[in-house]
Amino acid sequence: MNAVIDAPGPESLETISCYYCGSEKNTHFTDAWEDLTGKPGTFHFVRCQGCGLVYQNPRVRLESIGRYYDDEYIAHRKKKDWGFMTPLYNWAMDKHDRQKARVVKTYKELTPKSRVLDVGCGAGTFLLKMNALYGAIVSGVDFKDLSALPGFDRIDFHYGVFCDQRLSPASFDLVTMWHFLEHDYDPIGTLQKAGEVLKSDGILIVEVPRLDSRTFELYRERWPGLQAPQHTVLYDKDMFLRTLERAGLKVIDYLPYGAFPAYFYLFAGFMFKRLKGKGLNLSKAVYPYFLGQLLLSPALLFEKKLNLAMQIAVCRRPK
């Protein structure tokens, strides 16, 4: 059983300046809550008056944020038995990695000699998919020690903050950040590090929630992309691309959709609006989740054109 978490006190919070321009001047943007699990606390997002970036301020200190990434956190959940829904659940989880693989295949041909790094690798399923499909040599970084999870014997796992890792320069053919950058405490430094470890012909793929999306317009303070306090910064298209370029990367393509299912944001936002901070019981929600997905499946065929929730940038090191 997970320990009860109290709302963060002043000692576990810190006031910060803008990640992009360093300005300390900002205006209130919205309040947010840990709607997924119902942990207590109200968290504040501000908009920088200098550049327009939206970020959490104050934020939970790095040494205190780990308690919000417990076994209830969706990317780290260990539950495997969902009753008669288990086959459908497993298919949906694998579909997410298949979608990532399709994005990768569009931009990079991988072989058994290819080296792949996933930053914020979570349970490692994407890396295992790359290993299974191409025989690629796979490495992962996560600030939570997940090395005991199945399949990590095939992953070169690095535990800790990405920027602190000793990784050889120009050593990876592919670096991915699937919904990692919005969690990061030093986004530009992290992107610069990613550029350093890329080979000259390597590819960086970054996926984040899109602030200027239809689901944000629909749900506002209950938008799943807020996911406070884990999400520290929110990107609209303009600030996403500017941040990548500020880090010295060359954006070669931009996709107004993601590998992550936009339907999750549609469903979760609706539930968060109804529950108002009580937390989403995934064991019960799994049934209406898949039913709703079935009913909305015709509309979801047009997901790539609807700007529902996600965005992806594909980058290279400048030559």
Any idea where the domains of the chain sit in the sequence? Answer: 10-316
Q: Amino acid identity of 295?
A: L
Q: Determine the distance from the C-alpha atom of residue 306 to the mean position of all C-alpha atoms in its chain, rounded to a whole number.
A: 20
Question: Token pair for residue 311?
Answer: 């965005």
- Please state, as a whole number, how many other Cβ atoms lie within 10 Å of the Cβ of residue 197: 22
- Please state, as a whole number, how many other Cβ atoms lie within 10 Å of the Cβ of residue 210: 26
Is the CB of residue 184 less than 8 Å from the CB of residue 143?
A: no
Q: Show pLDDT as tens, one digit a residue, over the chain (319 residues).
A: 344 578 888 899 999 999 999 999 999 999 999 999 899 999 999 999 999 999 999 999 999 998 898 766 555 455 565 565 577 667 777 889 999 999 999 999 999 999 999 999 999 999 999 999 999 999 999 999 999 999 999 999 999 999 999 999 999 999 999 999 999 999 999 999 999 999 999 999 999 999 999 999 999 999 999 999 999 999 999 999 999 999 999 999 999 999 999 999 999 999 999 999 999 887 788 888 888 888 888 888 888 888 999 999 999 998 7
Cα–Cα distance measured from residue 250 to residue 242, given in angstroms and rounded to the nearest whole number: 11
Question: For residue 223, which of 282, 267, 180 has the smallest C-alpha distance?
Answer: 267
Cα–Cα distance measured from residue 319 to residue 33, given in angstroms and rounded to the nearest whole number: 43
Cβ burial of 145 (10 Å; 0-12, 13-18, 19+) is exposed
Q: State the pTM of this model.
A: 0.94
Question: For residue 212, which of 103, 58, 54, 59 has the smallest C-alpha distance?
Answer: 54
Beginning with the edge strand found earlier in the chain, give each strand of the sheet holding 137-142 in spatial order. Answer: 156-159, 137-142, 115-119, 172-178, 198-209, 310-316, 250-255
Residue range 10-316 in CATH 3.40.50.150: yes
